[in-house]
Each structure stands twice: as structure tokens, then as C-alpha cells.
Amino acid sequence: MNKSLVYNRKKLFIFIVAILLMVVILIGRLGYIMIFQSEHYSELATQLHERERQIKAARGKILDANGTVIASNKTVCTVSVIYNQVSDPEKVIKVLSEELELSEETVRKKVEKISSREKIKSNVPKAIGDKIREYDLNGVKVDEDYKRYYPYGSLASKVLGFTGSDNQGIIGLEVKYEEYLKGTDGEILTVTDARGVEIDYVVENRVEAIPGNNLMLSLDVNIQKYAEQAAYRVLEEKQANYVSIIAMNPKNGEIYCMVNAPEFDLNDPYTLNYTVDGDVTDKEYQDLLNKMWRNQSINDTYEPGSTFKIVTATAGLEEGVVTPESTFSCPGFRIVEDRRIKCHKVIGHGTETFVEGTMNSCNPVFMDVGLRVGAERYFANMEKLGLMEKTGVDLPGEAGTIIHKLENVGLVELATMSFGQSFQITPLQLLRAVSAVINGGNLVTPHFAVGVTDTEGNVIKTFEYPVTEGVISKETSETMKYILNMVVKEGSGKNGQVEGYEIGGKTATSEKLPRGNGKYISSYIGFAPAYDPEIIAICIIDEPVGIYYGGTVAAPVISELYANILPYLGIEKADTAENAEEESN
């Protein structure tokens, strides 16, 4: 047989076998895809022909102690275009640029961009969204959305915080309790043809959004209003940088109000609340916004000055180095090592008891007490009163204590610490510590959130906060209430008096660093009723112009606040002869 013929037959055979093998492989692969991968490719095909649009969930409301809504939602719209469905691009560009007040160039770039969906503008007022719908423009989608709305504008702005364009919390309680407030977004699925055009006769698939839960607070709108009015009045009168006021229940840590004036408009949080001279860069503008949003009550530290004498007095009583009847001599200064440290009364107070020394806010008396206690025990007492840790308040960004290390504290440092200098704390840390001093010795956790409810008002969570009991003795607590009541009755805190009520308190005037710059922080902390406190409040005035003494400018602020809110809280006037006569008239 011809060798070439045999060779050709062999090649043909190999070719046929190869073809048959390929056919078998293809059939096998096709069978595998059709039988075992059918669900996967069916899903891919569905995705190719489905267009997904998000339905934003309504954010949960925030309610005050009385159930008043202080953060809610407004219905707004998101306007977008689908490139493949736009039949008259010029009309779409004209209508959207006019109705949305955008430049034609901006709208054109988005309309002509080849994409499955292009957002033109979000947070569009519902009335404008409805108007755009009436044009019935092919390829233009108007979906209802939600925008956070604050009915009281700037009220408690640095506490509540606000949300961004995606409706997520950015600062304050809005971000702290995001997991409860945010809800679950839904979606709309529409079917399209191969060109990406929606098929009219196919019904949309909808997964409805689930609204967020509501947050209940201890903050009281009425108390916050009273406090803000008082803060803005002194802010203007004293041309201060800022004024902070916090009022709290000293027994359980529930915060009734937290003011940081000037506040900002929660419905317009990206506009500065003051005028800036000259042009600023984007980074500089963002820095200014961050400064405006700062909550001075918890984000900033300061030297507390004489209000901290409450802590020194408590430490002295606890350690047994002083009694109310202990006597001291004040010549107007103390020599500590190589330092001559002055009293605010240059000629001195002369001989005085410990109670009188506290009423006079006498620096030498408290230097003596601090030095008797000693650095190690002094630090231990500060730690017991929570001053070496953050308060645990349910707000982000809380600052901590700035203080010397114990091994670096000499006699001079201890002497100055005893009257509130050479270290820094936050106003809320001091308020918490003094609360423990006057409530019988329990260290509470300051907080706003009380509970969470669903959209029907059913309570689904009640918040609980740590309490450390017995950080000081009840005997020391009773003694301190008496002493601080005398400070307001007859001492440096007279301007903190409220007619008909027994008040306890302490004033402070602390010079800012560097010393000698003529800038001061005036403050006052007061509580009522003096012997069974139901409310404690602190006022901080940063750099008041003119008279700057805490007893003169800060104490009257809390006095004014208490005159308004003590009756509101149902706190009865003291049972005194003066009050009995007043009621009979």
C-alpha cells in the first residue's frame, strides 16, 4: 500500500478523533453550565437586566426628657439620570439646571456621562422634586429621601451633633448612637432590556426601608433654653470667647442641659456662626468649622482655680488633717520653698477657721491643707473622685486630665494644685467630682441617653451607667454641704443665692497661661437644695472683658438659671421664717 495514503488516513483519523473529543468536551461543559451552574448564571443575567435604586431609611427621632422631638426628618428628593433612557438630553439639561439651580455645564457633564445611574443632586426640597416629576422627562428619576431636621435650630448643637449628606451622624449624640438611629435602607429593582432601558410593563420589586429607633434623653429643652438665654446674655455683656453651662442631677448623672455658647445652626452646620476677614483656604475653613463644632464642656481642659478647693477640702476632711473648727493664719501669702505665693487678699485674712477660710476662698488655708495631706494621698483622693480618668459621658471626643506625674510633684506644685492651678481638667470632670462630694459619696457617670424606643413608642432598651459607691464618707459629704452652703450664705458666693432656697456653691477666678497676660476664666459651681441636692450646675466664662471675678460674673448666671428652673423641677422652697411670711402675704 502507498505509504502516503496510509499517512493521510492516519492524519484524518487523528483529526476526526480530535474533533470528536472537542465536541464531547463542549457538550460536557455546556451540560455542566446548564445543570450545575444554572442558578449562578441566571443570577448574573438578572443583575444585567435589573437596575437598583436605594430607598433611604428614615432616621430615628431624638426626644428630650418630656418627649419633645429635638431631631427629626424632612422628606427631600434625590434627582438622578440614567444615560440610556434619556431621550431628549437638551431638555433634561435645561430643566434640571433651572429647577436645581445648577450651572448647565455641571448638569451636562452628568447627563452625558455614560453610566448606569448618575446622581445630579440630593437633599432637594420635596416641592421641587414634585415639580421635576411633572415634566415627565425620560431617564430622569426623582426618589424620595430624608434629610435630618432640627426644629430648635441651634439648641444644644454641640451635644446633638448633625448628619452628613449620607444621613450618617458626624458629631455629638448623632454619631454616638448611630447604631440605634440609622435604620436599614430599602431598594427598588427595575427590569431593563439589553440597552439598559427600563421595561414599562414589568412590575418593580421593592424592599421597604426600616426606620431607625428613637433615642430618649435626659436633656430638657426648657432647661436648655433657660441656660442658653443666660449664657448668651453674659457672653454679650462680657464680650467673652465662650460661655459653658452644664446642669446635672448629682444623684444619677442625668444631664439636664449642656450649653456652649455660641452654638451653631444644626440645619446649616457648614456655615460659620461668625464672619471671617479675608479669604481662607479649604483647609483653614475646615479648621474653623472644627473649632465651631467643639464642645468646650468636654473637649477642652482648663485650670479650675478656686472651685477645686472643694476637692482639697474634701481630701483634708477625709484624711483627718483638718476639721471645720481648725484655725489658720493668713498674712496675705505663704512661703513654700523658694516661692512666695499670694492670697487674693493682699493684706491677708488674719486668723480664721477652716469654714471661714473656705468662705473667704483663702489660698494660704488651702495650701496648708494640701501640704498636710501630702502629694500621694492628695492624688489618691483625686483618683477616688474620678479626676484621673474621663467621666465616661456618652459623647465622642472627651478630653482627659493634664497633670504632673506624682514623682514630679514637689511642695510648690502641691501648694498650687491645692487651689486649682498647675493642672487641667474638663468642666464635666469637676462637676462629676463635686457631685460625689455632695451626694453622699457616690461617683456617678454623666450621661444624656436614657433609653431607646421603636417607632411605636415601645421601650426596647434602657441604658445603665456605672456608679462607684462610697468614694468618700457620708460624714465628709454632710460637712462639705454645710461649708459650701455657708460660702453662698455669707461668703464669696453670695451672688449665687436664690431667694427662698438654700444653695451651696463655690466661685473661681483662674488666670490663664502664660501668667500675667491679663486673661481669666471666671467660673462658679452651685447646687440646690444645699442639704439634699437634686441639681448641680457649673458656669464657665472664658476671657470676660472688664470685671472678671467668678463671684461677680459667673455666680449670678447660675442664680438666674436656678430662679427659673428650680420651681419648674418641682423643688420646693426652704421652710424658713422668711418664706413662711412671704407665703402669708
Look-up: residue for cell 430615628?
60
Active site residue 522: no
Q: Residues 6 or more apart from 184 whose CB is under 8 A from it?
A: 57, 209, 210
Q: Are 236 and 221 in contact (CB under 8 A)?
A: no
Q: Residues 6 or more apart from 300 whose CB is under 8 A from it?
A: 294, 399, 426
Beta strands in 151-225 (DSSP E): 186-191, 205-207, 214-217
225-229 LR contacts (CB < 8 Å, sep 24+): 225/155, 226/257, 226/561, 226/564, 226/565, 227/257, 227/259, 227/561, 228/155, 228/259, 228/261, 228/263
Q: Are 536 and 518 in contact (CB under 8 A)?
A: no
Task: Starting at the earlier edge strand, list the strands of the sheet with 205-207.
Answer: 50-55, 186-191, 205-207
Q: Are 490 and 358 in contact (CB under 8 A)?
A: no
DSSP codes, 205-248 = EEE--BPPPEEEES--HHHHHHHHHHHHHHHHHTT-SEEEEEEE
Q: Residues 6 or more apart from 370 whose CB is under 8 A from it?
A: 312, 315, 316, 378, 414, 415, 417, 418, 419
**Three cell numbers at 510?**
483662674
Cα(first)–Cα(last) distance of the chain, in Å?
A: 143
Measured CA to CA, the distance from residue 393 to residue 385 in angstroms comes to 15
Measured CA to CA, the distance from residue 584 to residue 309 in angstroms comes to 40
Task: Give the 3-state secondary structure of residue 166.
Answer: coil
Measured CA to CA, the distance from residue 559 to residue 504 in angstroms comes to 11
* Backbone φ, ψ for residue 573 (5° rounding): -70, 155
Measured CA to CA, the distance from residue 494 to residue 237 in angstroms comes to 21
Name the active-site residue from 157, 244, 297, 306: 306
DSSP 359: H
Measured CA to CA, the distance from residue 497 to residue 521 in angstroms comes to 21
**Three cell numbers at 199?**
421595561
* Positions marked active-site: 306
